[in-house]
Amino acid sequence: MSGRLRNKTALVTGSTSNIGQAIAEAFAAEGAHVIVSGRNRERGTQVVEGIRASGGRADFLPADLDGGAEASRDLAARARQTLGGRIDILVNNAGVYPAPGTATTDEKTFDQVYAVNVKAPFFLTAAVAPGMAQAGGGVIVNLGSWIARLGVPLGALYSSTKGAMETLTRAWAAEFGPQGVRVNAVSPGVILPPAPEGGEPHPGEVMMKGTPAGGVGTPDAVAHAAVWLASDEAAFVHGTVVDVDGGRTGVAVIAA
């Protein structure tokens, strides 16, 4: 790695597994001191131990971002203290993905998905962005999704929350950009960890047939994009959603 995030501090929510873990590991490999955050203390500790074993800097902070403003403010305060007083980079990655049909979605599920996927990052950003501005600048990277712009069956609830995050990305870029805080998003396509040799095909693979990539992506693909957006290489990038989806949303898919 090239040390593109050397001497930076970062908070990555939902980073005890999958995409969030890959982002935390990539940030640490580029020199950042990373806060790994999530509900599962055992997995979080394992991620931190792996980063440290590779020579990186990381700490784990447990957090259940249930949408309550106080939970978001508490995580921001603990992260800032652990990182020596400042958060240079925030990645709003934590999310949940129940996918019932619209007619079978109950109010409790609706409220939970919006609380975790929209309300929690809203108040976490509110708690972090002003401090970034006061310190001279910072970067916020949100996680969107390809199904925010390309509808799929049973995806109404989740995709609407990701559409909200992509809209907030543009709104926050307008609000905080003049204060030195860049806000962008990554929109992953079908992302799966590397399958074990001889493993059964995942249902998501069907959605990637006929795309330019021809198959699913791995968490590392999203992490590479997040590193670029967080680095000075993207200093002139504001309010943008970067599609990391193998061409799924931008190119006509030819059915096989």
For the segment 46-94, what is each residue's pLDDT rounded down to a tens digit? 999 999 999 999 999 999 999 999 999 999 999 999 999 999 999 999 9
Q: Higher model confidence: residue 150 or residue 223?
A: 223
Tokens 């619209």, residue located: 102
Question: What predicted TM-score, i.e. pTM, was given to this entire model?
Answer: 0.95
* DSSP assignment letter at 197: T
Read off the pLDDT of residues 180-223 as tens digits, 9 standing for 90 and up: 999 999 999 999 887 654 456 677 788 888 899 888 999 999 99
Spatial separation of the C-alpha atoms in residues 180 and 227, rounded to whole Å: 18
Residue 253 reports pLDDT greater than 50? yes
Dihedral, CA of residue 93, residue 96, residue 100 and residue 105, to nearest 10: -110
- What's the mean pLDDT in 222-242? 98
Please state which of the ranges 11-15, 170-174, 202-206, 208-212 shows the lowest mean pLDDT: 202-206
Would you state the pLDDT for residue 111? 97
Among residues 94, 83, 82, 191, the alpha carbon closest in space to that of 141 is found at 94
Q: Which of 27, 122, 158, 176 is catalytic?
A: 158
Chain centroid to Cα 20, Å, comes to: 6
Residue 122 reports pLDDT greater than 90? yes
pLDDT band per the 50, 70, 90 thresholds, residue 10: very high
- Cβ-proximal residues to 81 (8 Å cutoff; 6+ apart), any chain: none
Characterise 67 by phi-psi region: left (phi > 0), alpha (psi -120 to 50), beta (else). left
Among residues 215, 202, 201, 203, the alpha carbon closest in space to that of 248 is found at 215
Would you state the pLDDT for residue 152? 87
- What's the mean pLDDT in 96-107? 91
Residue 256 reports pLDDT greater than 70? no
Query: How many C-beta neighbours within 10 Å does residue 57 have?
Result: 15
Would you state the pLDDT for residue 86? 97
> Annotated catalytic, 158?
yes
Q: What token pair was written down for 30?
A: 């580029």
Q: Where are the domains of the chain?
A: 9-244
- What's the mean pLDDT in 9-21? 97
Q: What token pair was written down for 151?
A: 């509808």
- The class of domain 9-244 in CATH terms is alpha beta
Q: Higher model confidence: residue 5 or residue 205?
A: 5
- What's the mean pLDDT in 145-174? 95
State what percent of residues in the chain have pLDDT above 70.
95
Distances (CA, A) of 109 to 39, 105, 114, 151, 161: 19, 6, 9, 20, 13
Would you state the pLDDT for residue 98? 84
Q: Are 152 and 159 in contact (CB under 8 A)?
A: yes
Spatial separation of the C-alpha atoms in residues 1 and 26, rounded to whole Å: 9
Read off the pLDDT of residues 23-47 as tens digits, 9 standing for 90 and up: 999 999 999 999 999 999 999 999 9
Would you state the pLDDT for residue 198? 45
